[in-house]
Amino acid sequence: MLDMTDLVGVTFWIISAAMVAATYFFTVERDRAEGKWKTSLTVAALVTGIAAIHYFYMRGVWIDTQQSPIVFRYVDWLLTVPLQIVEFYLILAAIAVVRAALFWKLMIASLVMLIFGFLGEANLMNYWVGFIIGMAGWLYIIYEIFAGEASQISAAQGTEASKTAFNALRLIVTVGWAIYPIGYIVEPSMGAGALNIVYNLADFVNKIAFGVVIWVAATSSSRSTA
């Protein structure tokens, strides 16, 4: 049972509902998007749909044990973060010819970030060593989208809609994603409850707002060309 005073459990519940609603929204709105943007909206719906399923289970783990659902959390991230990396690639591939190597660089960096974060959080390796290696993966992604090949392609060949989407997504990857390492840092002193509230809030921003950014670009681009 979900207890009224269980704030962490309540946030799990609210985010579950929001993920389901967002999935429905992106799926239905796909009809309004212009051709090449349709796939981006499909991927946005996959991200929130996969998260919804994991949130149902994570809520159960929390309510039963009052402990972090670490495995469900990282399985969810392992599926949804690569899909969000795919979004960057799709946005660029819609406007330019993009080398597959760029995709793999971003993908590998995101896997380093998640795998070492998991090893640290699950205490399968030193907590802070896992954190630092995970941080290196994230910082590499930030470098790539602000100064590397991805940013150069967007700046040189982007359309107005694609540039707006690219710039908003990189803001999410920098500011929105920063919420996760903050959760990781507060865990040792503030406990599993604080960690899960921070992660839940972060997922709300980074999965739903992320999809909304794509939805705005997808529907504005179809208006301007209609």
Which positions touch ligand RET (CB under 6 A)?
A: 77, 80-81, 84, 113-114, 117, 131, 134-135, 138, 177, 180-181, 184, 203, 206-207
Q: How far is CA 76 from the centre of its chain?
A: 10
Cβ–Cβ under 8 Å, residues 54 and 76: yes
CB of residue 5 to ligand RET, shortest distance in Å: 27
Query: SS3 of 3, please?
Result: coil
Size of the chain, expressed as the number of residues it contains: 226
Give the shortest CB-171-to-ligand RET separation in angstroms. 13
Q: Collect all residues with Cβ–Cβ distance below 8 Å to 218 and sequence separation of at least 6.
A: 29, 32, 33, 34, 37, 38, 40, 41, 161
Least CB distance from residue 81 to ligand RET, whole Å?
5
Tell me the closest approach of the beta carbon of residue 61 to ligand RET, in angstroms.
17
> For residues 179 and 210, what is the distance between their CA atoms, to the nearest angstrom?
14
Round to whole Å and give the CA distance between 211 and 204. 10
Q: Tell me which residue has its CB nearest to ligand RET.
A: 117
The SS3 call for residue 96 is coil
Which of 69, 134 has the CB closer to ligand RET? 134
Nearest CB to ligand RET, comparing residues 63 and 201:
201
Q: Which is nearer to ligand RET, 84 or 196 (CB)?
A: 84
Nearer to ligand RET (CB atom), residue 87 or residue 161: 87
| Phi, psi of 97, rounded to the nearest 5 degrees | -85, 120
Judged by beta carbon, residue 81 or residue 169, the one nearer ligand RET is 81
Helices (H), the chain: 7-29, 35-65, 70-93, 100-121, 127-146, 149-157, 160-171, 179-203, 210-225
Specify the residue, 25 or 184, whose C-beta has the smaller distance to ligand RET.
184
CB of 8 to ligand RET, least distance (A): 17
CB of 97 to ligand RET, least distance (A): 27
